[in-house]
Structure 1
Amino acid sequence: MVITVSSYKILPEKIQEFLEISSELSRASLKENGILRFDLLQNDGDDGRFLLIEAYESESIRKAHLDTPHFVNWRRTVPEMFSQGTTTVYYKPVSPKAEEYKK
C-alpha cells in the first residue's frame, strides 16, 4: 500500500478554480481500480492551503494513475495556481492496517 500526502498553497484568485478541478480529479480517481482514498482537504483557517491524501493498493496502481487523462489534465492546469512550492510525502499505514482499508 502507498499513501501520499501532498500540500499546496493556492493564489487567492485561483482558489475556486483549484477547488473545481481538484474535486473533479478526486471523483474521477476514486472510480479507478485500486485507489482506496483520494481526499481533498482545505485548511480551516487559510482558504488557500490544501492537502490531497491518496491511498493506493500498490505502487504500480499509483504509477498507472499518473497516466490517466484526469490526472494529466489536472497536472497540466494547476501549477499556475500555486503561490509557493508544493510538497509530497509518502507514508505507510499504521492504523488501520493496509488490509483493513475499505475497497
Structure 2
Amino acid sequence: MICVIADLRIRAGSQDEFFEAARAMLAATRAEPGCIRYDLEQSIEDSEHLTFVEEWETREALEAHFNTPHMADWRAASGPHLVDRNVKILHVGDVEVL
C-alpha cells in the first residue's frame, strides 16, 4: 500500500474557489482503479492549511492517477490558489493494529 500526505497552504480568501475546483477531482479520483482513500481535510485552527490524505493499492496506481485528465484540470484550477505544498509518499509494509 502507498500512502500520500500532501500539506497545502492556500491564499487567503480563495477557499470557496479552491474547494469548488476540488469537488470534481475528488469524485473522479475516488473512482480510479487502485484508490483506497482520497480525502481533503481542512485545519480547524488555520483555514488556509489543507491536507490531502490518500491511500493507493500500488505505486503504479498512484502514478496512473498523476496522469489522468482530471488531475491535469485540477493542477490548472488549483495552481493560482496555492502558496506552498509539501507532499510525502509513504511505502507501507507491515502494519500492526493495536
TM-score of the aligned structures, taking structure 2 as reference length: 0.87
Identity %: 24
Given that 1:8 and 1:82 are in contact with CA atoms closer than 8 Å, whether structure 2 keeps it comes out as yes
Paired residue type of 1:86: R
2:88 aligned partner: 89
Paired residues of 1:5 and 1:53 also in contact (CA < 8 A): yes
Cα displacement (A) at 1:13: 2.0
Secondary structure of the 1:46 match is: coil
The equivalent residue for 1:46 is: 46
Equivalent position SS for 2:79: helix
The Cα of 1:30 is off from its aligned counterpart by: 0.6
Alignment-mate amino acid for residue 26 of structure 2 = S
Of Structure 1 and Structure 2, the greater strand share is in 2
Q: Distance in 2 between matches of 1:65 and 1:90?
A: 14
* Stretches (4+) displaced over 4 A: none
How far does residue 64 in structure 1 lie from its aligned partner after superposition? 0.6
Task: Structure 1: state its 5+ residue gaps.
Answer: 97-103
Alpha-carbon shift at residue 95 of structure 1 (Å): 5.2
For residues 1-103 of structure 1, the aligned pairs below 5 Å read 1-83=1-83, 85-91=84-90, 92=92, 94=95
Contact 1:23 1:40 in 2 (8 A): no
- Distance in 2 (CA, whole Å) between partners of 1:8 and 1:95 is 29
Q: Provide TM-score, normalisation by structure 1.
A: 0.83
Moved more, 37-46 or 18-27: 18-27
Q: Aligned residues, how many? A: 95
SS in 2 for 1:86: strand
Q: CA RMSD in A?
A: 1.5
State the 1:23 CA deviation.
Answer: 2.7
